[in-house]
Structure 1
Amino acid sequence: MGKMVEILREIGMIARALDSISNIEFKEVDLIRGQYLYIVRICEHPGITPVELADMIKVDKATTVKALKKLEKIGLITQTVDKINKRTKKIYPTAKGEEVHPFIARENEYSNRVALDGFTEAEAQQLKDYLERVRINIEDDWYHVEKGNQRIY
């Protein structure tokens, strides 16, 4: 591929803009700094483990544990010890967490609608497919670095 197309800057700007919007809009439900991502995934996957959640969101385990403590403190989630593997915790939304989830989902649907304005359904699907391929390409490096390794340039 000739000159590299600079898509990561565009993706970064989109992500930061949406994150800023969400941080402002979700203050009224006590969510800050991307915590809404955790609530959505926990509501979609009740009983998920911290390791599974970290992998799903693509953040390190320490960041996930810290976010979970804050979410538990404000009463949006609960963590229980797994009955089979006592070293593993299972995460569940509380009733308060379940109440917040539709608000977050509504914001996500709106942001998707705004982002895809002027796209045909086929173009939107193609964009999703391309971005999925980009994520898959980057995932191996993420796993490699997340385990404490360095990438070779």
Structure 2
Amino acid sequence: MLSFFNITKKMNTLNILHRICIQKQVAKNGLYFGQPPILEYVANHDKCTQCEVADFMKVSPASIATSVKRMQKSGFLEKVADESDLRYNRLKITEKGRELSQECRKDFDRVDAQMFSGFSDEECEQLCGYFERMIKNLSTEELENKTFFSLIAEGKKLLARQSKEGRLDD
């Protein structure tokens, strides 16, 4: 019988393998790891602000600004003046950016399809149910109903706090 440790180790290995496969696809398209979600967000929220993207991804506005500058330079995004207040800029995806975003989405979907190859729909539904139950089991009140990006932000805050307290140096 597998121990909880062995199951968790397999889940962590799967997570790392999935991340590596996604990183390879991102690099193939000439992007950095965090850029496809930005492109996808802007594609779905035309003329959004950098702050809106930062809020969605739960990262600092400065981090988004750096990525936006890179993506502007590469011709994937444009900044357009806000029609009602010229002091503000809004983000607009270019045709080149839209095509790249769609290509990334197809690549990510292929990685996911490869990962679930050989699984029936019923098995996928069952697995999803198991994950939902495990998520519920670990979701304390302050983490309940958080999005993927906000959970990442919570983890970063915890690491920063531990680092500040010197607990990561041991």
TM value normalised by structure 1: 0.69
**Bigger-Rg structure (1/2):** 2
CA RMSD of aligned residues (A): 3.7
Out of 132, 139, 146, the residue aligned to residue 136 of structure 1 is 146
1:67 Cα deviation after fit: 0.8
1:18 Cα deviation after fit: 1.8
| Sequence identity percentage | 16
Paired residue type of 1:13: L
Distance in 2 between residues matched to 1:89 and 1:60, nearest whole Å: 17
1:78 Cα deviation after fit: 0.9
| Structure 1 residues 53 and 127, CA gap change in structure 2 (3 angstroms) | farther
CA deviation profile, 1:22-42 (whole Å, cap 9, x unmatched)? 312x1xxxx322233322222
Count residues in correspondence.
147
Residue 25 of structure 2 contacts residue 107 of structure 2 at CA under 8 Å; is this kept in 1?
no
CA deviation profile, 1:13-61 (whole Å, cap 9, x unmatched)? 321332123312x1xxxx3222333222221222222223234344433
Q: Does 1:51 align with 2:51?
A: yes
Residue 54 of structure 1 contacts residue 60 of structure 1 at CA under 8 Å; is this kept in 2?
yes
Residue of structure 1 in register with 2:37 after alignment: 37
Q: After TM superposition, list the pairs within 5 Å mapping 1:5-24 onto structure 2.
A: 5-6=8-9, 7-24=11-28
TM value normalised by structure 2: 0.63
Instruction: Please identify, of 104-113 and 51-60, the stretch whose mean Cα deviation from structure 2 is larger.
Output: 51-60
Residue 43 of structure 1 contacts residue 92 of structure 1 at CA under 8 Å; is this kept in 2?
yes
Paired residue type of 1:66: T
Residue 81 of structure 2 contacts residue 89 of structure 2 at CA under 8 Å; is this kept in 1?
yes
Residue of structure 2 in register with 1:97 after alignment: 97
**Helix, strand or coil at the partner of 2:25:** helix
User: Gaps (5+ residues) in structure 1?
Assistant: none
| Structure 1 residues 47 and 104, CA gap change in structure 2 (3 angstroms) | same
User: Gaps (5+ residues) in structure 2?
Assistant: 139-144
| Structure 1 residues 86 and 123, CA gap change in structure 2 (3 angstroms) | farther
| Structure 1 residues 90 and 137, CA gap change in structure 2 (3 angstroms) | closer
